[in-house]
Structure 1
Amino acid sequence: MKLQNRFFILYTSSVLAFFQFGQLSAQELERVTGLVLADGWQAVQANCTECHSALLITQNSGSREVWESRIRWMQDTQGLQELAPELEATILDYLEEHYDQKDSTRRAPLSKHLLPENPYESNGE
């Protein structure tokens, strides 16, 4: 097989794999709120964006327990009404599925040798 044909096959395969992966990993977002369009998004929009922007949801993450604790905090301190158990479960299912705890939300700390000298650090004197 000619080198040119091998390159064409490799290139075509790579492009197809890239587009296939992109379609599988891309999530369709609601145009106005930016919420992932999936089961439960309307319940989240109707109940959560009544008091705050959807950005507060999309820029955060957490386990189901974390999201539930945030709901309890809003109920205890911000005037959020008690949610029907089915509605709360729908909201938590959605948040857990699409805004679950991220592996890391910050970069790794810099190595000590990369840090600037601390002018306030005492040398044991």
Structure 2
Amino acid sequence: MKKVVLAFVACLSLWGTEIDKETGLKVAKGLEEVKANCTVCHSANFIIQSKLNRDEWLTTIRWMQDTQGLWEFDPQTEDIILTYLSTQYPQSNTSRRRPQLDKSLLPPK
């Protein structure tokens, strides 16, 4: 598995995308905030595989805050995190994953 990750990182660096060696996330503005607030509870692979738009990332954050004990962010930190996630890991039309359900369609807490 480690060889596969190293090969993936090497391929991305050939495409000009710098990858954080600690997490495997793309190096860009907001990475440190994402590392400090997101990878504390789960693997960066969750982020890499999710591929959501900004509203879906926000819905995911709110779900984690409502049900998983994620702390609230100040508005500036939340904007930095959402901008990083939606820019570096945007929703992809080639994804086989269905779009997230609207919050109104989810069961009550």
Tell me the TM-score normalized by structure 1.
0.64
What's 1:79 paired with? 69
Q: 1:23 & 1:61 partners in 2: Cα distance?
A: 20
- More relative contact order in 1 or in 2 (CA 8 Å, sep 6+)? 2
Q: How much has 1:73 moved relative to structure 2?
A: 0.1
Partners in 2 of 1:46 and 1:23 — Cα distance? 24
Distance change >3 Å, CA 26–CA 81, structure 1 → 2:
same
Alignment of 1:46-85 (within 5 A): 46-85=36-75
Q: Which runs of 5+ in 2 are unaligned?
A: 1-11, 97-109
| RMSD, matched Cα | 1.7
Deviation, structure 1 residue 105: 1.4
Unaligned 5+ segments in structure 1 are 1-21, 107-125
SS across alignment from 1:95: helix
CA 1:47/1:24 → structure 2, altered by over 3 Å: closer, same or farther?
same
Alignment equivalent of 1:97, drawn from 82, 87, 106: 87
Pair member with larger Rg: 1
Q: How many residues align?
A: 85
What's the CA shift string for 1:72-111, capped at 9, x where partnerless?
00000000011000000000000011000001113xxxxx
Counterpart of 1:86, as a letter, is: Q
